[in-house]
Chain A
């Protein structure tokens, strides 16, 4: 849905879901009353992944700070179910620690980007006219530059801490929610209940906060779910390219990048577990987002 994802990525199963109408009928998504099976699967995977990353290290103790070269590049076996990497770190344990930063940053970016985007879009749509024009041109400008390029420039000028990384990623992700909310805000402000607020002397702030934003909440929630998936993905790309959190922090992208040096040595356990894990978690968030979209009957764009 945002910076790094494919254009108009309205969730992975969007196109599949958008053709439920029989031939001849208007193509519209069918309103569901219960969350879909894929949504349940997605949610379950997310819960399991959170347990794995945050509770796992409490049960499965590994040393992820001091290297142990005597135990480097061990195949999966006794003591190391998924083997070790070139520094002798246990891969299974490192997956858990690396997942913590991915999930935390992904969620934080989604929350921050959505908050900024919603406020920006609601104000622009409600204000209309020249204010709307200027605010939306700012969005267009940031969207015109591929995010990864801006990210690399920003990441080289500041050695990123977790907080800075969250801010930078969110800075490049709030445009999509702002466009979505602006569109809804434009139509909502002409509705009677919003105009009634103004007739009764309610201020613009009140109209936006109490009436416009609550009515866009479905769109916001659905978009935020996709934002988490995108943030995890771009964080992995950034770490893979070596511009993520600096060592000793463990990241999924960093593990993959490290393991990719040993492809020709046949150390498959250094790339497959982490690669598959990234794909599964990203798919899970997309499943959940698709299911929520169908459930809440949100049409993105």
Chain B
């Protein structure tokens, strides 16, 4: 177990270092380098050289990379010269909002998908199962932005129930004071996650139902609800733990699209506007944070899985 954990930890560390190298190279292979990005397209070679000297950008690349990592380790993700504010301050405002959006959608989706997936597994190949499978299949095939537009068109433009724009505000506290406006972005993300999770839950519950310990539990006369609750459920939610870790990159991607469509003031929207205005320090800072979150998520999922499933711990 300890060896396994150490191996996974080392592996994650290597990946994180790799990500910083990629981001560093991207920053330095942009047309004209960081100086051009900061001083603008009309900067003269003289002013670029002066800038490079001042900020140590004329050092050899490995030295610059070490400086960059040094800054990162001190929690300095860079500075947005376009917005005149540090990337750290931007993220400390926007990241909680994104984590809230992604987190609450994930939670609601799991709460809905787990019982539905189990119900489908129990009534496998009956009309209820087929109906629900078709629904999740249809949702699963929909691109995020198309589903969002559909919901806006139906629930906002035609029925006028929910506003099409997410709540606006600088802090998370301001955002959650307008729950009605939160409905559409959260609903879109929930539906997309639900499609994925219910399929996994169904497959996983079908697998658990076929195990010998279920037969044993039933033949010793355990009531069906106890079989489902303490045997099927507990063994089938394991994949969901891994799924959370694995789906982080995809959650952030869907989050970016949804934040852009609903104008939700989170990291995704910040990333999008920075990409439009070519604010590279912000783009790269967000990329680093999201990549590290992804790696940490995978690591935690692996650890959780090993803790929850003894077969992995001892193999």
Q: A146-B253, A241-B257 are in contact. Are A141 and B290 (CB under 8 A)?
A: no
Tell me the smallest distance from the CB of A234 to a CB of chain B, in Å: 9
Residues of A within 8 Å of B145, CB to CB, are: 236-237, 240, 256
Q: Which of A59-81 contact B (CB under 8 A)?
A: none
- Most chain B beta-carbon contacts within 10 A, residue among A148, A152, A240: A148
The answer to whether A145 and B287 touch across the interface, beta carbons within 8 angstroms, is yes
A283 to B284, CA, bound (A): 34
Across the interface, do B253 and A148 meet the contact criterion of CB distance under 8 Å?
yes
What residue in chain B is nearest A152 (Cβ atoms)? Answer: B275
Please, which residues of chain A bring their CB within 8 A of the CB of B278?
156-157
Contact between chains at A278 and B271 (CB < 8 Å): no
Does A231 reach chain B (CB closer than 8 Å)?
Answer: no
Q: Which residues of A contact B272 (CB under 8 A)?
A: 152, 241
The proximity string for A residues 169-188 relative to B, scoring 1 for CB distances below 8 Å and 0 otherwise, is 00000000000000000000
* Count, chain B residues at interface, CB 8 A: 62
Asked if A237 contacts B290 (CB within 8 A), the reply is: no
CB distance from A38 to the nearest CB of B (A): 11
- B209 contacts A153, CB within 8 Å? no
Q: Interface digits, B246-290 against A, CB 8 Å rule (1 contact, 0 not)?
A: 110110110011001100000000011001101010011011001
Q: Which residues of B contact A25 (CB under 8 A)?
A: 210
Closest B residue to A155 by CB, please name it: B275
Residues B31 and A286 in contact, CB atoms below 8 Å apart: no
**Are A145 and B246 CB-contacts (below 8 A) given A19-B203, A137-B14, A263-B152?**
no
Q: Given A6-B140, A141-B18, A146-B249, A271 and B153 touching (CB < 8 A)?
A: yes
Taking each of A137, A141, A155, which has the highest tally of chain B beta carbons within 10 Å of its own beta carbon? A141
8 Å CB contacts to B: which residues of A264-284? 264, 266, 268, 271, 275, 278-279, 282-283
Complex contact B15–A256 (CB within 8 A): no
* B256 engages A149 (CB within 8 Å): yes
* B149:A271 contact, CB within 8 angstroms: yes
Of A8-16, A43-51, A212-220, the one touching chain B = A8-16
Check: A130 CB closer than 8 A to any chain B CB: no
How many contacts between A and B, using CB within 8 angstroms?
A: 151
Q: Which residues of B contact A13 (CB under 8 A)?
A: 137
- Complex CA distance for A237 and B137, rounded to whole angstroms: 20
The residues of A that contact B252 with a CB separation of less than 8 Å are 146, 149
Task: Give B277's nearest chain A residue, CB to CB.
Answer: A156
> Contacts A12-B141, A146-B290; is A152 near B271 (CB within 8 Å)?
yes
Q: How far is the CA of A6 from the CA of B202 in the complex (A)?
A: 17
Among A23, A141, A146, A266, the one with the most B-chain Cβ atoms within 10 Å of its Cβ is A146
Which of B30, B144, B291 interacts with A157 by CB under 8 Å?
B30
| Chain A residues positioned under 8 Å from B202 (CB to CB) | 15
Residues of A near B16 (CB, < 8 A) are: 144
In the complex, how many angstroms separate the beta carbon of B185 from the nearest chain A beta carbon?
A: 15
- Minimum CB–CB distance for B152 against chain A, Å: 6
Closest A residue to B292 by beta carbon equals A144
Indicate if the CB atoms of A145 and B19 lie closer than 8 Å. yes
Chain A interface extent, by class: 35 or more
A18 interfacial contact with B, CB 8 Å: yes
Which of chain A's residues has its CB closest to B244's CB?
A: A7
- In Å, the complex CA distance between A150 and B256 comes to 13
- Whether A263 and B149, one on each chain, are in contact in the complex, defined by CB atoms closer than 8 angstroms, is yes
> With a CB–CB cut-off of 8 A, which chain B residues contact A247?
none
A278 / chain B contacts, CB cutoff of 8 Å: 143, 146
Q: Which residues of A contact B157 (CB under 8 A)?
A: 263-264, 266
- Of all chain A residues, the one with the shortest Cβ separation from B117 is A15
Q: Which of A144, A150, A256 contacts B295 (CB 8 A)?
A: A144
A97 at the interface (CB under 8 A from B): no
Is there contact, CB below 8 Å, between A6 and B196?
Answer: yes
Question: Cβ of A53 < 8 Å from any Cβ of B?
Answer: no
The distance in angstroms between the C-alpha atoms of A278 and B144, with both chains bound, is 12
Contact in complex: A15, B22 (CB < 8 Å): no
Cβ of A164 under 8 Å from chain B: no
> B150 on the interface (CB 8 Å rule)?
yes
Task: Give the residue among A15, A152, A240 with the most B Cβ atoms within 10 A.
Answer: A15
Known A-B contacts A7-B246, A148-B253; the reply to A256 vs B203 at CB < 8 A is no
Does chain A have a CB within 8 A of B206? yes
B275 touching A141, Cβ below 8 Å: no
Q: How far is the CA of A19 from the CA of B210 in the complex (A)?
A: 11
Give A residues with C-beta under 8 Å from B. Answer: 4-8, 12-13, 15-16, 18-19, 23-25, 27, 137-138, 140-150, 152-153, 155-157, 233, 236-237, 240-243, 256, 260, 263-264, 266, 268, 271, 275, 278-279, 282-283, 286
A-B CB proximity, top 4 nearest: A141-B18, A7-B246, A146-B249, A152-B275
15 contacts between A and B (CB under 8 A): A4-B250, A12-B137, A24-B210, A141-B18, A141-B22, A145-B290, A149-B252, A149-B253, A149-B283, A157-B278, A240-B257, A242-B276, A256-B146, A282-B141, A282-B143
